[in-house]
């Protein structure tokens, strides 16, 4: 058990209205912090008032981006209980990202205790309206004050919380995606499978150019052959081709192993669908479209759960999917996952962790 020192905020913030939340714009009254020093390990776990963190200008995170993060949510049930969805998966992924980034791991039970304790203290911040939740952002960054390039000897592990609005206030509207031909997000052997800020920094320009051209997100192709599909924006991607569900496999290490992705695969298999995790080329998708066998496509991630794709545009070649409407498999996954997350359906898969 972590010994967490708790310092309560003297003044509480006023809470924003549920219909004005947006994503990641409001933060709760407290945050969790724990420090690491080589030789001492993780120490000094505390929950303190939310506020700025003071760092030396030479702190390594500013120069060499030794940083990683996670993202999960706490949901309010209709009986006002608060629950988490598969936090063990996020914590395991955080530690696998730690290994890739030469960052010391956080014991899984300590990370879960930190998340639960903070969410419990802030439970009044979990919004009530349909589709809203409390987004949980754990992150770790290198704080050693020096400019040599090597793994830092000092880190901080911080957790902040943000009440977020319903992603689909206006219904599950399919989005338009640009197939990215100029930039790549990662390459085999790189950090594609690690949840790190650096991957996002590298993706901003492609995303910005896509938005300027009227697209919501980009479809990332592999960095070597520019042929195989990796992800859509910051989501994992699925296709339904001739009734079979196909998604890029994790084997090459290019793809972030999404908790939503894994949950969709498990549910689809349980329901009796054929699910193939394998390489998926953009040519295969164009061909399926031309043959009329491209039934559906959707992105998966914690923020949106399921994000249906209405169209891919590949340098002017338009792949329209299901008349720009959400398909039945996308809808079924969305309905079932959200029912479990908000406690409206029984937890048959054992995925729910209550915050007592």
Ligand X SMILES: *Cc1c(COP(=O)(O)O)cnc(C)c1O
Q: Does 260 contact ligand X by CB under 6 A?
A: yes
Question: What stretches of 115-252 adopt beta strand conformation (E)?
Answer: 133-142, 154-164, 175-179, 217-221, 229-232, 236-241, 244-248
Q: For residue 208, what are the contacts with CB-CB under 8 A and spacing of at least 6?
A: none
Contact residue for ligand X among 180, 231, 252, 314 (CB under 6 A): 231
How many angstroms from the chain centroid is the CA of residue 349?
A: 20
Q: Does 26 contact ligand X by CB under 6 A?
A: no
Residues 95-154 that bind ligand X (CB under 6 A): none
Given phi > 0 = left and psi -120 to 50 = alpha, else beta, which region is 290? Answer: alpha
Q: What is the DSSP letter of 177?
A: E
Host H or E run for residue 208: helix 197-212
> Residue 121 or residue 196: which is nearer to ligand X going by CB?
196
> Residue 55 or residue 262: which is nearer to ligand X going by CB?
262
The window from 17-25, 139-147, 149-157, 257-265 that contacts ligand X (CB under 6 A) reads 257-265
Dihedral (Cα; 177, 302, 308, 214), 10-degree rounding: -30
What is the rounded distance in angstroms from the CA atom of residue 226 to the CA atom of residue 178?
A: 14
Dihedral (Cα; 333, 338, 344, 346), 10-degree rounding: 50
The window from 230-238, 308-316, 330-338, 347-355 that contacts ligand X (CB under 6 A) reads 230-238
Residues 276-315 that bind ligand X (CB under 6 A): 300-302
Q: Which candidate, 85, 27, 71, 24, places its Cα nearest to that of 52?
A: 27
What is the rounded distance in angstroms from the CA atom of residue 129 to the CA atom of residue 141?
A: 34
> Residue 70 or residue 144: which is nearer to ligand X going by CB?
70
What is the rounded distance in angstroms from the CA atom of residue 220 to the CA atom of residue 309?
A: 14
Minimum CB distance to ligand X, residue 185 (Å): 8
Given phi > 0 = left and psi -120 to 50 = alpha, else beta, which region is 322? Answer: left
Q: Does 235 contact ligand X by CB under 6 A?
A: yes
> Residue 2 or residue 297: which is nearer to ligand X going by CB?
297
Contact residue for ligand X among 61, 219, 234, 267 (CB under 6 A): 234
Cβ atoms of 187 and 151 within 8 Å: the answer is: no
Contact residue for ligand X among 259, 321, 329, 355 (CB under 6 A): 259
Helix 259-270 to helix 87-100 angle (10° resolution) is 130
Which burial class, exposed, middle or buried, applies to 249 when counting CB atoms under 10 A from its CB (0-12, 13-18, 19+)? middle
Q: Which candidate, 332, 69, 295, places its Cα nearest to that of 196?
A: 69
> Residue 69 or residue 273: which is nearer to ligand X going by CB?
69
The window from 143-151, 166-174, 228-236, 270-278 that contacts ligand X (CB under 6 A) reads 228-236
Q: Does 30 contact ligand X by CB under 6 A?
A: no
> Residue 85 or residue 289: which is nearer to ligand X going by CB?
85
Minimum CB distance to ligand X, residue 277 (Å): 15
| Interaction mask 49-88, ligand X, x per CB under 6 A | ----------------------x-----------------
Instruction: Please tell me the count of residues contacting ligand X according to CB under 6 A.
Output: 14
The window from 95-103, 152-160, 204-212, 254-262 that contacts ligand X (CB under 6 A) reads 254-262
Q: Does 196 contact ligand X by CB under 6 A?
A: no
Site residues, ligand X (CB under 6 A): 71, 195, 231, 234-236, 256, 258-261, 300-302
């Amino acid at each position: 058990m972590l010994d967490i020192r708790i310092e309560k905020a003297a003044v509480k913030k006023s809470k924003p209205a549920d219909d004005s939340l947006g994503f990641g714009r409001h933060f709760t009254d407290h945050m969790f912090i724990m420090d690491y020093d080589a030789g001492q390990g993780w120490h000094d776990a505390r929950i303190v008032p939310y506020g700025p963190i003071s760092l030396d200008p030479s702190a390594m995170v500013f120069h060499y981006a030794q940083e990683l993060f996670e993202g999960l949510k706490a949901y309010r049930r209709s009986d006002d209980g608060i629950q988490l969805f598969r936090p063990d998966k996020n914590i395991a992924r955080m530690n696998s990202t730690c290994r890739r980034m030469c960052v010391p791991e956080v014991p899984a039970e300590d990370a879960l205790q930190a998340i639960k304790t903070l969410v419990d203290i802030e439970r009044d911040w979990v919004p009530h309206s349909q589709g809203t939740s409390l987004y949980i952002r754990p992150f770790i960054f290198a704080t050693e004050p020096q400019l040599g390039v090597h793994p830092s000897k000092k880190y901080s592990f911080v957790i902040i919380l943000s009440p977020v609005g319903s992603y689909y206030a206006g219904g599950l509207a399919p989005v338009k995606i640009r197939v990215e031909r100029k930039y790549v997000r990662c390459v085999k052997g790189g950090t594609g499978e690690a949840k790190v800020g650096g991957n996002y920094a590298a993706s901003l320009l492609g995303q910005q150019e896509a938005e300027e051209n009227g697209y919501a997100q980009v479809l990332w192709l592999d960095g070597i052959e520019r042929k195989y599909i990796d992800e859509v924006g910051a989501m994992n991607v699925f296709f339904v081709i001739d009734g079979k569900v196909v998604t890029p496999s994790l084997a090459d290490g290019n793809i972030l192993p999404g908790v939503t992705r894994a949950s969709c695969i498990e549910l689809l298999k349980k329901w009796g669908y054929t699910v193939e995790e394998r390489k998926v080329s953009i040519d295969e998708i164009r061909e399926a479209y031309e043959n009329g066998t491209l039934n559906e496509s959707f992105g998966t991630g914690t923020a949106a759960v399921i994000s249906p794709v209405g169209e891919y545009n590949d340098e002017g070649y338009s792949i329209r999917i299901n008349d720009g409407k959400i398909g039945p498999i996308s809808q079924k996954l969305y309905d079932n996952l959200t029912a479990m997350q908000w406690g409206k359906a029984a937890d048959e898969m054992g995925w729910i962790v209550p915050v007592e």
